[in-house]
């Protein structure tokens, strides 16, 4: 009888130890606030524009952070979670629009505008330079035959003298 009680107690103790070990394991799997916020700061709530999810206090943002925590605990990677939010709520949840499709214009247009601007400046500066060059160049005076004759006579007189 005593042996049975001891065996029962032993089994109970082992069970308790196993349970506490499993509980600790489960706690360790729970993502920390820092892990949740590391992803949350890369997402924006469309309800409160221009506010990253990690510093947003609305109920929608609280729910979204809970969703991130849930996905992390299910073993989802950061990229998978971000992709999930984009699929669910659109690209506006990202801090920058993805460089694809119509969004490409966001990246191409500034460069194109800059290049067109440079081209216009270069063209304009050429037209500005032309009159300046003309102003400072030596004047093209046509040779006057009368003046030439006068100069010739003066030279001869100087030689004779």
DSSP-derived secondary structure for 34-102: HHHHHHHTT-B-SSSTT-BGGG--SHHHHHHHHHHHHHHHTT--HHHHHHHHHHHH-GGGSSS--SSGG
**In angstroms, rounded to a whole number, what is the distance separating the alpha carbons of residues 123 and 57?**
54
Quick check: 44 binds another protein (CB under 8 A)?
Answer: no
Quick check: 116 binds another protein (CB under 8 A)?
Answer: yes
Quick check: 70 binds another protein (CB under 8 A)?
Answer: yes
Among 36, 40, 45, 53, binds another protein (CB under 8 A): 45
Quick check: 46 binds another protein (CB under 8 A)?
Answer: yes
Among 15, 24, 104, 120, binds another protein (CB under 8 A): 120
Quick check: 26 binds another protein (CB under 8 A)?
Answer: no
Contact residues for another protein, defined by CB under 8 A: 45-47, 58-60, 62-64, 66-67, 70, 86-92, 105, 109, 112-113, 116, 119-120
């Amino acid at each position: 009888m005593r042996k049975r009680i001891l065996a029962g107690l032993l089994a109970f103790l082992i069970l308790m130890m196993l349970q506490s070990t499993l509980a600790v394991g489960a706690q360790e799997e729970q993502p920390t606030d820092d892990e949740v916020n590391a992803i949350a700061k890369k997402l924006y709530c469309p309800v409160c524009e221009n506010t990253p999810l990690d510093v947003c206090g609305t109920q929608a943002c609280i729910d979204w952070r809970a969703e991130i925590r849930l996905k992390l605990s299910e073993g989802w990677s950061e990229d998978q979670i971000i992709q999930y939010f984009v699929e669910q709520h659109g690209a506006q949840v990202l801090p920058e629009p993805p460089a694809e499709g119509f969004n490409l214009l966001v990246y191409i247009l500034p460069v194109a505008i800059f290049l067109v601007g440079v081209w216009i400046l270069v063209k304009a500066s050429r037209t500005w330079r032309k009159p300046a060059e003309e102003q400072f160049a030596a004047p093209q005076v046509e040779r006057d035959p009368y003046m030439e004759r006068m100069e010739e006579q003066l030279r001869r007189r100087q030689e004779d003298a």
